[in-house]
Every structure is written in C-alpha cells, then in structure tokens.
C-alpha cells in the first residue's frame, strides 16, 4: 500500500477541507467520513473486503510502516550513497536527466508535513538536508513552506522508480504484474530493472504486462476516465465464481471487455458451459481446448483448501438465464427452489444440501441485483395475473390448441417447452418469431420478453395451460 505517497489532487469524493492536506503523505490523513482510523484504511478496506469475497486474501504491507520501522534503512542508505550512479542509470535507460546533484529522496517537511514539496540537496551519511520549495503534482504546482531542515532516512521516501527497485530487492519479489504502460521501452520497469540489478545486486522480477479492462466495447476504465469499476460491483451482479472466471478465462495480455448489461448473461453462459464441460458433459468444446476450459473452471472455484481448489463434488446448476425469469416470477428462495424442483431441471431435487441452498441464494441475489441495476429494460417484466386484453390472430389460436395438448404431456423444462412451441408453429406454417410474440402478449401483455422456454418453465404448468386455453380456438 503506497500510503507514503503524497496527496496529489482532491478527487470528487473527498470533502473540500482536504485541500489543506495537498502534498502530505496519505498515512497522515484522516478518514474522510470519520468511519476508519485512517485515510488509507478507508480506501483499502472495501477493496480487501471484496477481494476476500472471491477468496483472495493478500497480506497488506504498509510502505509508510516499512520506512518507519527501519525495514528500508539498508536500501535507502545504498540509494543515497550511490545517487550519482542511479542518476546515470535513469539518464541512460529513460533519457531523463535529473541533474548532477540530484538525490533520490523526498523528506517529509518538518514544518508543513508535505512530502511532494521538498527537494533534497545533501546527504552526510546520517541525515538528508532538504528545502521545502514546492513541487509539481500532475498538472498542479503545490506550494512549499520554504522551510530548510535535515531529517533521518525514516522520515521520507525514495522516488517511485527507485522505490520500486528497492521493494523488489527488499521483499524478494520474483513476479510483478503491471499495466502495459509501465513496460514501454525506457519506461519504469526497464529503469527499475537496471537499478535493481546494478545498485541493489538483486535479480529483477519476471514482468507480466496486463491489458486494460474496457467497458462496453472500448470505453477505457480508470481514475482519469471518470468511471471507477470496483470488484465489489462485479461480484454483486455476477457471483464470486463468475467474477473470478472473468479474469481467468483470458490471457493477462489480452484486454478484458466488461459489459454490465447483457454481457453479464453472456459471461454466465460461458461460465456455465465451462461447468458442464468440467463435469463431463459433451458441450462441443474442441478437444484441444478442453484442458484449459476445465482448468479455468477449477481456478474460478471459491474454496481453496490446502493449496488445492475444492470444486463441488457434483454438477449442480440453475442457469443465470433461467434465474432472470425465476426471480421475477417468484418472491423468495423457497418458491424458486419449488419451481426448480417442479421443472425437473435437476435430477437430485429431493435433497438440497445447505451448501447448495447457499450457493443458489448467492446466485439469486446476484441476478436480482442485476435485474434492478443493469439489466436492459426488455429483460424486466411482470406476468399478468388475469388474461390481458389482446388480439391474437386466428391461425395462432388454432395452433394454441395443439400446443396446450402437448404442454400437458412433456417434462416441464425450458428446452422442452421451447421446442414444443417452436415445432408446433412450424407445422402450422407460422413463423416461430410471430408465435413467440403472441405468447409474450398473452402472458406479459407486450411483444418481447426473456427467453420463452425459461419464462414459461418458471411458471406453474397449470397456469400456463389455462392461459393458453383461454385464447385458444
């Protein structure tokens, strides 16, 4: 946690009073809402809590504390002693010239508490002398207070490029994922690598550049784009497993397109396909991709025990698509389970274990949240309790008679219902699309809706048959 970094500007979510803290290190700032012990905790806590929901439990390390506790004494000393070599490396690798008397250290000003405003000018092996003369942060210039002083090496920090190399060396980092911008030729990684190897005598970590996450087909996410996507938002509507799957399904080096609208149902379909594949169903996935698909599913599983992912022992699934109808035709979990049992989608319906109930509950909550927040309008519907006042063409009404006869006999599953209606329409020379339109009209009093098989399967068979009979000829 880079909590020794100075506050560079005041983002919208911070109160105006925070202007007084511009340039001060984050670890010194108060919680903006008064709910945590510090500014850093306020912003890291929700992130860590959401990571825990997807079973990622990092050990947070505070950079400020590492300096204060003297853990960095050694690397800071080396960096200051060999400042001129570091200056030369930065010039050689990145082309940027810091000047002959540059020292890689930002002191925290003893007078005004700012760190972005100080410039170090002397190092005597004990203390760093500095002037608080002001500094540039992004587009802003932050005024210094003019103070001159000298501090010990625990009261300041190394500049970012040097700090990164020092961190690799001190923590023994072997693997470092980073945004692709840091991997540019002459960029931060190359400079850090040279400093790490030549100044700290440590091998630089293996870099893995990752691509951006883009939203809805190209808009870039990020602080400056003004749209911040939190992992919590994704988990809320996509379940923890699907959120993990979102990251595991593609290479780190390919960009990830997240679409909170219909994209979520596509992600769900892909995840459920991987699940069925994992449990040995023939899903049409080509032989050479099977191993990857199964592994992605395994890695997306939440329980990580004794260094091994625990995947549930049997295949259990009520699809996300089916649930988008179920949550709108049922008020609570029990009635959803009753409907699922009735629709025969799963074989061992009699014995729902507590774990399966919980899993379904998480999925149901996610689907409800998605319907309430991001689902396209035409996914939302209400089933008409009484037959609506709609006109249905005569040839459709004739076909209704045959359809309801067949619906009375089939297993009540989405596929069976869909196929029955589809085939009967065809046999009567009616376009399936037109017939589906009539069906939406008599149940929803509109011409569009969720996938018809799922919609009708989530309703009581008697209710469905009765409604079709009402309009039949």
Residues that bind Zn ion in the complex, under the rule CB under 5 A: 31, 33, 35-36, 42, 109, 111-112, 132, 145, 147
**Contacting residues for 185 by C-beta, under 8 A, at least 6 apart:** none
Q: How many CA within 13 A on the CB side of residue 310?
A: 7
- Cβ proximity to Zn ion: between 107 and 166 the closer is 107
Whether residue 300 contacts residue 238, with contact meaning beta carbons closer than 8 Å, is answered with no
- What does the alpha-carbon distance between residue 390 and residue 21 come to, in Å, rounded to a whole number? 65
DSSP letter for each residue of 354-397: HHHHHHHHHHHHHHHHHHHHTS-GGG-----SS-------HHHH
Residue 65 to residues 69, 110, 154: CA-CA distances in angstroms?
6, 18, 9
Using DSSP, state whether 309 is helix, strand or coil. Answer: strand
- Cβ proximity to Zn ion: between 6 and 414 the closer is 6
Q: How far is the CB of 191 from Zn ion (least distance, A)?
A: 28
- Cβ proximity to Zn ion: between 157 and 161 the closer is 157
- What does the alpha-carbon distance between residue 356 and residue 405 come to, in Å, rounded to a whole number? 35
Q: How far is the CB of 319 from Zn ion (least distance, A)?
A: 39
Q: How far is the CB of 69 from Zn ion (least distance, A)?
A: 24
**Of the candidates 22, 195, 13, the residue with the CA atom closest to the CA atom of residue 93:** 195
Query: 258-286 b/e with 16+ CB inside 10 Å = b?
Result: bebeebbbebbebbbbbbbbbbeeeeebe
- Cβ proximity to Zn ion: between 31 and 383 the closer is 31
- Cβ proximity to Zn ion: between 12 and 409 the closer is 12
Q: How far is the CB of 109 from Zn ion (least distance, A)?
A: 3
- Cβ proximity to Zn ion: between 116 and 267 the closer is 116
Q: How far is the CB of 117 from Zn ion (least distance, A)?
A: 6
Q: How far is the CB of 154 from Zn ion (least distance, A)?
A: 18
């Amino acid at each position: 946690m880079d909590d020794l970094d100075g506050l560079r500007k005041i983002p919208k979510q911070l109160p105006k009073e925070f202007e007084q803290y511009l340039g001060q290190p984050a670890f010194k700032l108060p919680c903006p809402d008064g709910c945590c012990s510090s500014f850093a905790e306020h912003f890291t806590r929700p992130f860590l809590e959401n990571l825990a929901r997807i079973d990622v439990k990092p050990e947070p390390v505070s950079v400020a504390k590492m300096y204060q506790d003297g853990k960095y004494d050694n690397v800071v000393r080396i960096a200051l002693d060999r400042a001129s070599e570091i200056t030369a490396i930065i010039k050689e690798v990145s082309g940027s010239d810091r000047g002959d008397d540059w020292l890689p250290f930002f002191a925290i000003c003893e007078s005004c508490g700012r760190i972005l405003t100080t410039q170090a000018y002397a190092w005597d092996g004990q203390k760093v002398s500095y002037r608080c003369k002001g500094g540039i942060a992004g587009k802003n210039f932050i005024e210094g207070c003019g103070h001159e002083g000298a501090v010990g090496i625990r009261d300041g920090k190394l500049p970012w490029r040097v700090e990164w190399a020092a961190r690799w060396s001190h923590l023994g980092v072997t693997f470092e994922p980073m945004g692709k911008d840091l991997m540019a030729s002459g960029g931060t990684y190359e400079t850090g690598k040279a400093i790490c190897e030549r100044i700290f005598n440590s091998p630089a970590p293996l870099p893995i550049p990752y691509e951006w996450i883009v939203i809805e087909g190209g808009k870039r996410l990020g602080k400056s784009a003004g749209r911040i996507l939190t992992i919590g938002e994704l988990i809320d509507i996509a379940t923890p497993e699907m959120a993990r799957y979102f990251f595991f399904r593609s290479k780190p080096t390919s960009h990830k397109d997240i679409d909170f609208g219909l994209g979520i149902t596509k992600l769900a379909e892909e995840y459920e396909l991987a699940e069925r594949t994992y449990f040995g169903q023939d899903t049409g996935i080509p032989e050479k991709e099977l191993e990857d698909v199964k592994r992605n599913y395994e890695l997306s599983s939440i329980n990580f025990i004794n260094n091994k992912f625990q995947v549930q022992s049997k295949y259990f699934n009520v699809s996300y698509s089916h649930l988008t109808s179920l949550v709108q035709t049922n008020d609570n979990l029990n009635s959803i389970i009753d409907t699922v049992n009735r629709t025969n989608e799963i074989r061992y319906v009699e014995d729902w274990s507590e774990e399966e109930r919980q899993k379904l509950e998480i999925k149901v909550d996610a689907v409800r949240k998605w319907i309430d927040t991001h689902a396209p309008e035409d996914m939302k519907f209400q089933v008409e309790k009484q037959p609506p006042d709609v006109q249905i063409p005569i040839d459709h009404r004739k076909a209704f008679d045959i359809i309801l006869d067949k619906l009375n006999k089939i297993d009540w599953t989405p596929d069976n219902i869909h196929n029955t209606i589809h085939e009967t329409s065809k046999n009567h020379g009616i376009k399936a699309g037109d017939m589906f339109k009539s069906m939406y009209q008599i149940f929803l009093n509109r011409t569009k809706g969720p996938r018809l098989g799922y919609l009708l399967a989530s309703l009581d068979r008697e209710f469905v048959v009765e409604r079709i009979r009402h309009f039949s000829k």
